[in-house]
Amino acid sequence: MLVRSGKSKFLSWQRHQYSPLARQLEVFSVVTQFLFYLGWDKFAGNNDSRRRHRRAQWLVKQLVRLGPTFIKIGQSLSTRADLLPIEYVQELQQLQDRVPPFEIAEAIAVIESELGKPIDFLFQAFESTPLASASLGQVHKARLHTGEEVVVKVQRPGLEELFNLDFEVLHQLIRAGKRYLPALKKYDLEAIYEEFFELLFLEIDYIHEGKNADRFQENFKNHARIKVPKVYWQYTTKKVLTLEYLPGIKIDDRQSLEAKGINLDEIIQLGICSYLKQLLQDGFFQSDPHPGNMAVSSSGDLIFYDFGTMAEVKSVAKDQMIETFFAVLRKDTDKVVETMIYMGLIEPMRDLTPVKRIVAFLLEEFRDKPVDIKAFERVGEEVYLMFKQQPFRLPAQMTFIIKSITTLDGIARALDPQYNLLAASQPFVRSLAVSNGKGSLVSTLAKQAREFIKNKWQQPNTTERYLRRLEEKIERGELQLRIRSLENERTLKRIYMAIKSLIYACLTGLTLLSATVLLSTAYSKFAIIAFGGAGLFSLFLLRSLIALALQEKLDRLADK
């Protein structure tokens, strides 16, 4: 029996008859208010970190109010530290993709319309209360007539129409911005927004998501501890996705995992190694691995959900990513910078010393040990200064990678604040080192792994490491040598005093000449002021000449 839920909170953007003009005014109103706030803060000179946090919090609330399109925009911008101040990045990272569920009647209407049969004919049981709800859709648990338990993902009604409407509104906004805000011309906003909407429309195509799930499952078919829900294609359309029900404990729920006796270190290793495989071997990875998309089964297996936001690494970049990974393990700063330039993460510059210094610091501080927030503060200002100078370029593909890695790092630290990447990735490295597979990619992986192990065996002794660090500091311009020469210091001091005396002499002569000229004109009254100035400058000149004479005598005495 189907039990109906109570009424859900109505969202303004869910109107069935949404006027394009009303939507345009709503969006333009938020943008105008935000620009006014920014302009006012700049005019008032009140643009400190605390004020930026307040503005960012206000922006996050408005994005949620505007609905799915803008929630997704905010989530995308949360990874762009190269474009936004740190305060906005921090607040946007807290942006939740949770909104109230829509009516069960609407969900059933979508299912019946898409699958062409009554709900009772399709499912033996269908729970009216959703397991989860987001801006794009919601998930209901159900049971097929064959007895299998499944979850049914249903798209929000009218979502595609809303995206089409927002697509036009944002296009108008971008055109207006380029016309009236010249500072925006340096960004290719039209290309960015077209790429964003292309990905967004793919995310609401559940057939595409189902294919992603099948591909992901195929990639991990030989990994028994990685679970991927099976897709029931006969119950799947563009707006309805039916998957195998795989319950689990939320991956960052440390207390529940410990209560079940699950080894947290193994879960961290499993998560890190699975992502290294996705990034480096498969080139096909889940770009949004937040805790809601990953769970742990009662037997300690890792379960992946939600395959709507998958991303690919082009084959041309795979080898470079592998080399970068092993260069990070070796703390090879030059190789890391070289491959980042090759991949388009860093703009080629004449002087890469600041970039190398930051990379070397990050490798030294955070590769083998937990992140120390205080340590980040030492380079924070320099990093953001570098961003302002535009030495970094973050393509969309790399934005997904960075977002995935940072999110996964946060999950791992929730389980074990003392975890480190090197220890967690050891199983992956060992598996590569003994790999005898064929193909250029596997060959590259095995070669890099062997070189890494060889490098570990050939570590220099303490003296050699010290000399190597000294050499690296000299190359990066971090080593400053200070040589004092008393004779040179005395000479420079005398030159400084002589120049000072010369300036006073020029000022005395100039004011005295001006006073003499003024005496023969109608402005003779001002000649008194000029004579006074000449007298004052002459006193300064006299004091300076005396000081210079005394300094010369002292220097001669010191030389004897």
Q: What is the DSSP string of 70-98?
A: HHHHHHHHTT-TTTS-HHHHHHHHT----
State which amino acid sits at residue 88: Y
pLDDT at residue 437 greater than cutoff 50: no
The string of pLDDT tens digits covering residues 394-423 is 555 666 776 677 778 778 877 887 777 767
What residues contact 298, with CB distance under 8 A and at least 6 apart? 248, 249, 260
Determine the pLDDT at residue 504: 80
Of 118-122, 396-400, 442-446, least confident by mean pLDDT is 442-446
C-alpha distances out from residue 433 to 270, 339, 446, 451, Å:
18, 22, 5, 9
Check residue 392 and report its DSSP letter: B
Residue 295's φ and ψ, nearest 5 degrees, are -145, 170
What are the φ/ψ torsions at residue 403 (nearest 5 degrees)?
Answer: -60, -40
Is residue 376 very low, low, confident or very high in pLDDT (cuts 50, 70, 90)? very low
Q: Which has more pLDDT, 55 or 89?
A: 55
Pick the closest to residue 497 from 434, 439, 555, 424 (CA basis). Answer: 555
Catalytic residue among 166, 252, 288, 319: 288
- Structure letter (DSSP) for residue 280: I
Place of tokens 């189902």: 210
Provide the pLDDT confidence category of residue 451 given band limits of 50, 70 and 90: low
Q: How many helices (H) and strands (E) does the chain have?
A: 22, 11
Q: Which amino acid belongs to residue 535? A: G
Residue 8 pLDDT exceeds 60: no
Tell me the C-alpha distance between 13 and 499, whole Å.
Answer: 73
Give me the mean pLDDT over the 266-283 stretch.
86
Q: By the 8 A CB rule, do 252 and 240 touch?
A: no
Q: What pLDDT, on a 0 to 100 scale, did the predictor assign at position 436? A: 46
Model pLDDT, residue 71: 85
Q: How confident is the model at residue 184 (pLDDT cuts 50, 70, 90)?
A: low
Strands 240-244 and 249-250, by their bridges, are: unpaired
Residue 104 has pLDDT above 60, yes or no: yes
Is pLDDT above 90 for 492?
A: no
Residue with tokens 């973050």: 394
pLDDT band (50, 70, 90) for residue 434: low
- Average per-residue pLDDT in the chain? 77
| pLDDT over 60 at 375, yes or no | no
DSSP state, 185? G
What confidence tens digit (pLDDT) does each residue in 201-249 have?
888 899 999 999 999 999 999 999 999 999 999 999 999 999 999 999 9
**Number of residues assigned to the chain:** 560
The set of residues, in sequence order, having a beta carbon less than 8 Å from that of 221 and lying 6+ positions away, is none
The per-residue pLDDT for 230 is 96
Structure-block tokens of residue 499: 């120049």
Please write the tens of the pLDDT for every residue from 252-261: 888 999 999 9
The answer regarding whether domain 99-169+187-246 maps to CATH 3.30.200.20 reads: yes
Predicted confidence at residue 390, as pLDDT, reads 47
Q: Is pLDDT larger for residue 369 or for residue 62?
A: 62
Q: Is the pLDDT of residue 75 over 80?
A: no
Which residues share a beta bridge with 144? 123
384 contacts: CB under 8 Å, gap ≥ 6:
81, 86
Which of 106-120, 456-470, 538-552 comes out lowest in average pLDDT?
456-470
Q: How confident is the model at residue 3 (pLDDT cuts 50, 70, 90)?
A: very low
| 405 neighbors 82 (Cβ within 8 angstroms) | no
Check residue 448 and give its pLDDT. Answer: 57
Q: What's the pLDDT at 457?
A: 54
At 58, the pLDDT band (50, 70, 90 cuts) reads very high
pLDDT given at position 67? 84
Show the tokens assigned to 25: 């005014």
In the chain, domain spans: 1-97, 99-169+187-246, 259-295+309-451, 486-559
Q: Give the pLDDT band of residue 105 (cuts 50, 70, 90).
A: very high
pLDDT tens sequence across 42-51: 877 777 888 8
- Per 3-state DSSP, what percentage of the chain is helix, strand, and coil (rounded to 5)? 65, 10, 30
Respond yes or no: is residue 288 known to be catalytic.
yes
More confident residue, 81 or 289: 289
Tell me the pLDDT tens digit for each residue of 305-352.
989 888 887 654 556 666 777 777 777 888 888 877 776 656 676 777
**Each residue's pLDDT tens digit, 459-484:** 555 565 555 666 665 555 555 555 45
> How far apart are the C-alpha atoms of 484 and 482, rounded to whole Å?
7
354-362 long-range Cβ contacts below 8 angstroms, 24+ apart: 354/382, 354/386, 354/391, 355/386, 355/391, 356/476, 357/382, 357/476, 357/478, 358/382, 358/383, 358/386, 359/333, 360/331, 360/333, 360/472, 360/476
Q: What pLDDT shows up at residue 487?
A: 64
